[in-house]
Structure 1
Amino acid sequence: MNTILKIVLTIGLFIVFQEISAQSKLIPSSEFETEIIDTLYSETLKEYREFWVKLPENYNPNSSVKYPVVYLLDGFSLKENLEEVYDNYWGHYLPHMILIGISNKTDRIRDLTTSQIKMRRGQAMDKETGGAENFTQFIEKELIPYIDNKYPTTPYRTLIGHSYAGLFTVNMLINHKHLFQNYIAIDPSLDWDNQKLLKEAKEKLRSENYEGKSLYVSLAAEQLHMWDEEITMENIMDDSSEFTLFARSIIDFSTFATSQKQSGLNVSWKVYNEDLHGTVPLPTMRDGLIFLFKWYQFKSPQKYNNPESTVEELVKLLEKQEEIYSTHFGYPFPPMIEELFSGYGYMNLQMGQPEKAFMFFKTNIDYYPNRASAYNSMADYYEAQGDFTNAIKQVKKAFEISGDDLYKKRIEELKGK
Structure 2
Amino acid sequence: MTGLASRRLLAAAILTLGTPLSVPSAWAQAAPAAGYVLPESETWELKSDDGYPYQIFVSRPKDPPPPEGYPVLYVLDGNAMFAGFAETRRILGYMKADLGKTIIVGVGYKTEAAYDVRRIYDFVEDFRQPVPPAQLYLTKYKAGGRAQFAAFLLDRLRPELARRYSIHPHRQALFGHSFGGLFALYMLYNHPGAFHAIVAASPSIFWNDQAILAEERAFAAKLAQGKLQGPVGRLRLVTGELDETAVEHTDAAALAKRLEPLSAYGLRSEFEMFAGETHITVPSRSITSTLRFAFTWP
Same fold (TM over 0.5): yes
SS in 1 for 2:242: coil
CA 1:137–1:271: 2 relative to 1, 3 Å:
same
Look up the match of 1:75.
78
Look up the match of 1:387.
none
Unaligned runs of 5+ in 2: 1-38, 110-115
TM-score, structure 2 normalization: 0.73
Contact 1:206 1:260 in 2 (8 A): no
CA 1:244–1:277: 2 relative to 1, 3 Å:
closer
SS in 2 for 1:274: strand
1:220 to 2:240 alignment: yes
- In the TM superposition, structure 1's runs of 4+ consecutive aligned residues that sit over 6 Å from their partners are none
Give the Å deviation of 1:100. 0.8
CA–CA separation in structure 1 for the residues paired with 2:46 and 2:296: 34
Give the Å deviation of 1:177. 2.0
Letter in 1 for 2:164: K
CA–CA separation in structure 2 for the residues paired with 1:281 and 1:266: 21
Contact 1:109 1:129 in 2 (8 A): yes
**1:6-405 correspondence runs (5 A):** 34-43=40-49, 45-59=50-64, 66-89=69-92, 91-92=96-97, 94=99, 96-104=101-109, 105=116, 107-117=118-128, 118-121=131-134, 123-124=136-137, 125-155=139-169, 156-208=171-223, 209=228, 211-223=231-243, 244-294=246-296, 328=298
Give the Å deviation of 1:247. 2.7
Contact 2:192 2:231 in 1 (8 A): no
Look up the match of 1:10.
none
Letter in 1 for 2:136: Q
CA 1:97–1:246: 2 relative to 1, 3 Å:
same
CA RMSD of aligned residues (A): 2.4
SS in 2 for 1:68: strand
Any idea what the Cα deviations from partners look like across 1:154-175, whole Å, max 9, x if unmatched?
1120111111001111111110
Any idea what the Cα deviations from partners look like across 1:94-153, whole Å, max 9, x if unmatched?
261111111043611111113434345163422111111111111111111111111111
CA 1:112–1:259: 2 relative to 1, 3 Å:
same
SS in 2 for 1:110: helix
Contact 1:111 1:130 in 2 (8 A): yes
Contact 2:193 2:233 in 1 (8 A): no
CA 1:260–1:37: 2 relative to 1, 3 Å:
same
Contact 2:46 2:55 in 1 (8 A): yes
Task: State the identity %.
Answer: 23
Unaligned runs of 5+ in 1: 1-32, 227-242, 296-327, 329-417
Give the Å deviation of 1:262. 2.4
Report the count of equivalent residues. 243
Give the Å deviation of 1:265. 1.4
Contact 1:195 1:249 in 2 (8 A): no
CA 1:99–1:293: 2 relative to 1, 3 Å:
closer
Give the Å deviation of 1:277. 0.6
CA 1:211–1:66: 2 relative to 1, 3 Å:
closer
CA–CA separation in structure 1 for the residues paired with 2:194 and 2:135: 35
Contact 2:40 2:90 in 1 (8 A): no
Contact 1:198 1:253 in 2 (8 A): no
Contact 1:211 1:265 in 2 (8 A): no
Letter in 1 for 2:72: V
TM-score, structure 1 normalization: 0.54
CA 1:34–1:294: 2 relative to 1, 3 Å:
closer
Contact 2:77 2:106 in 1 (8 A): yes
Contact 2:61 2:100 in 1 (8 A): no
CA–CA separation in structure 2 for the residues paired with 1:58 and 1:189: 38
Give the Å deviation of 1:273. 1.9
Contact 1:202 1:257 in 2 (8 A): no
CA–CA separation in structure 1 for the residues paired with 2:286 and 2:220: 23
